[in-house]
Structure 1
Amino acid sequence: MSTDDTKSDGHCATPDSDGEVAEEIAIVSFERKLETAEEIRSGLAGRYERIDVIEYHTDVFAEHWGAYDCFVGLMASGIAMRKTAPLLDDKWDDPAVVVIDEELTWAIPITGGHHGANQVAKDLASLGAIPAMTTASEAAGKRGVEARARAMDAHVVNGDSTVATNLAVLDDELGPVARLDGPRAVLVGDDVTVLKRNEAEGVVVGTGSVSGASRESFLAAWERALAAAGYGFDDVEFVATATRKADEEGLLAAADELGLGVVTFDRETLLEYEGPTPSKSKRLIGWPGVSEASAIAGGREHELVVEKIGYENEVTVAIGR
């Protein structure tokens, strides 16, 4: 067995309703494929708090059940299914399970897709595996509420509500996440998912752009703005932008490269948190300057740390907290 204690960069680090965090990974492999398992461990190094390689035996899953947040089975899916099925109890408490074939062609989440398995499968794509998502929202190319929580560095408080809210995601009826600042008391029904931000503090990168801005431009613009405030990428909670920029390929690629979530705000929210720098977009299309407004809206304190900085007439950035 080998262990990687490198600090996690945030992948899969979203507490579930019981407060557990998917940061500790076990790669289970037959003896003949232990070398491949070590390659997987090396490929995932730095993304999780702990990664162990464990040699397979008949009771390996039962022996380590509860000791890890996610198992990666380097084996046929049938083996993993038969050995873990009797151990499953509750999706909010059970570890996630992903299988990957010996040729590293497919990474298939079996259980706990929204609780670590999907993210691990996506991370295994860096080794050449194709993530095979079967959870409804991911299969439809949409972000479920658990994914939205992860993007906002938050966790789901009332797990059972996600059945209704993820169905609303599939039907395009959920809309953006509403933000409520306290101290306040809130009464919600069973079909309202409550997200609570995690304890770690950080800054928010608010960003706008022209259509088609490159990944390189986003990365360079973000780095420049963060440096102006004395921060680095490790200090960033998430990237914030407008809903009309939600499909900007360069932005999404840059955020994915850094392991950051992207949170989008609708026009009404951005108007509420409009920044100090005048923007032609408000006069032309009714939207305030995206970078400052989204940085303020996303920050815990709604405070603008760095006003809008432009980069190559492609990307604008502001920093909030």
Structure 2
Amino acid sequence: MGKLKIAVVTINQPSLTAACNLMPHLHDYDVDVFGKKDLEHNLDHLNLYGKIDEIMQPAWEGYDAIICILAMGAVVRKIAPFLKDKATDPAVIVINLALDKIVPLLSGHLGGANELSDTIASRIDGCVNFVSTATDQTKTLAFEMFAKKNDLEIHNLKELALISNSLLNKKEVEVLTYESIFETIPNKKNLTRVDKQSSELCVNITPFDSPLLTFKPKVFLGMGCNRDTSFEDIEKAFLSFLESNKLIIEQIENIASFEAKADEKGLLEFATKYNFDIKFYNESEINNLEGKFSPSASTKFFGLKGVAEPSSVLISKYKELIINKEVYDKKITIAAAV
């Protein structure tokens, strides 16, 4: 990911002067300052505008965050026409002329306004970050922040308010997920892991579709094949595996196999076509892996616990097998892990 792209919006000489004072604290970001002509500044470049309405839409569409050094009421009125949803709106921050009070106004979590405000406040002596989001103030788990930090794809975001408010009200919330993922949740207060939903207050953290608030982790595949299996047969098996398990190609992060398959032309061609950085694991790595796996012909031929299942676990993020191996045409095996 590249540098955060920030627009700093000023309205007059005092706010432009404040922007000049702010710039050293934003040295590791990609920052453009917007201001009016005929004002004094020490910037290498100032983006000029006539009326503030001219720049708000380009700033909204072209930047990750907008820092406004002007009245909060004016900011609210100017951004109102562009508001869409918390998943796509940029971070909007308001900071005062003295640079000692900062407010993450919009997109505090997914847009990163709270985090950016925290960073700025930590860099300016005496600067206070006024965070209004209840989960931050009460140190309650914010599922969307957990998802953002762990690269989980978010679905049914409209259900987030119910879940967040329930946690704030100290109600029990179910989490439909795997033990390995559940253990990574930093604050499990009022959370219960389940294998099957029994309450409307439930969050789904699996790669599979659900009407619930859903956070999808990436999926990693382990693949095995007979010698000289063609690319066409491997691709057909792969697409069948996705279809039968209701997954899509974009969910697959990478694939893996046993090192004896490192010269399989069909497998390498398949990895190249789908832009997978295929990993190959040796006998020791596979056999030292804890856990039980499905019976495999590789035990007879290579002395291995398996190929598809252990390879998928080894390459995965959470080391959790979620789909046991499936066999295609008696020569291709595929398993999935998260």
Tell me the TM-score normalised to structure 1 length: 0.49
Higher RCO, 1 or 2 (CA under 8 Å, sep at least 6)?
1
Structure label with greater radius of gyration: 2
